[in-house]
Structure 1
């Protein structure tokens, strides 16, 4: 049975202090680097990081952007993100509660998310992509659990109890339906990768 948003938030609250250490694995590190690389914000850009967690990506983007907004469902994770920002002396990052379908953000130039959408079912992912598109970003970077090959891998990378990957095809369909073109696909693992979407002038 799928967990509710509230159940996920509570679980991440409990995990927040140990999250970075417990969740440090090669595929995640590679995906974080790719998301940062493809986000490539300009100095006047506002970047929104959904599922920001402890702020790993948001803090890495802060030097290049005008403002970075991190949104998460877990207050415990947000506390860790604020702590890291304060310790690093980063002042152009704001962390607060929000979710994909209720973002608590008005607009953005660039949107990123890494390993967060997979807590939603396929229909909810499609709705989330539409909500992100409504913020008007020119670029969206999705680092996500998604099936490149078999939907039933013998040795899954993620726990099927909490992670619900879509196929790459489903993600691409949701992105194009929202008015974006997929301009890059980075396969990190048979169950994980990065998709880059761009909105072009006149679309």
Structure 2
């Protein structure tokens, strides 16, 4: 991670008003859809870390018993709360929180996150996943910038100045170390995808680090991978 929590928060505070109207890539939207699909939110309590303007949290709120959105950007959270109020969604709430301090004492069934963890160094990703595991969810659904192979340095899907993506293999290893089995690895792009990790005592067969291909819908573009869904940092 090349910026502090405060710097990430300020960056997304500045972007919050226009974030939903930004031209996000098809890859970003495909990851959003996959996170929602794999969350299996029906009747569940779901924690969304790096919730941003609430794209995933609000989508899950229709079926979930409760959705808890956490982010470090007050500007993003303000937009998320306004959207929830406008839609009359009472099952979702938003407050400040991060991967390493999610400020959540609820019993959660699932933890989700999209395009947020790549701001952390690999060491901080491990701490984040350990923190998530300590909440004892049944499953974790992580959509993010992640390397399924050797990234093409001429066509990065992220900004090296602010982002620090991990390999899929590293993420799978960390989930395994904390007692989870990665049961799905959806490759949306060579540098982006979705992992589903379930508690090892209840999970089905684990998958390899290469995962399942989803046909890429767009070429890699430079920039901040369209920004995380909320500029989440530790």
TM-score, length-normalised on structure 1? 0.96
Change (3 A) 1:136 1:30: same
Count residues with an aligned counterpart. 202
Map 1:18-33 onto structure 2 (within 5 A). 18-33=18-33
1:6-31: per-residue Cα shift (whole Å, max 9, x none)?
00001111110011222521111000
Q: Judging changes above 3 Å, is the alpha-carbon distance between structure 1 residues 71 and 23 closer, same or farther for their aligned structure 2 residues?
A: farther
Matching residue of 2:138: 138
Runs of 5+ consecutive residues of structure 2 not aligned to the other structure = 204-234
How much has 1:128 moved relative to structure 2?
A: 0.2
TM-score (norm 2): 0.83
Offset from partner CA, 1:168-197 (integer Å, 9 cap, x none): 100001111110000001001111000000
Give 5+ residue unaligned stretches, structure 1. none
Worse overlay, 28-37 or 15-24:
15-24
Deviation at residue 162 of structure 1 after TM alignment: 1.4
Q: After superposition, what is the alpha-carbon deviation per residue over 1:21-51, rounded to whole angstroms, capped at 9, x for unaligned?
A: 22521111000000000001231x2100000
1:109-124 alignment to 2 at 5 Å? 109-124=109-124
Residue aligned with 2:63, SS? coil
Partner of 1:48: 47
Task: Report the more deviating stretch, 108-117 or 143-152.
Answer: 143-152
CA distance in 2, matches of 1:135, 1:158: 29
Kindly indicate whether the alpha-carbon contact (under 8 Å) linking 2:53 and 2:76 is maintained by their aligned counterparts in 1. yes
Q: For 2:53, what is the secondary structure of its paired residue?
A: coil
Runs of 4+ with deviation above 4 angstroms: none
Task: Choose between structure 1 and 2: higher helix proportion.
Answer: 1
Aligned pairs (5 A) from 1:153-192:
153-192=153-192
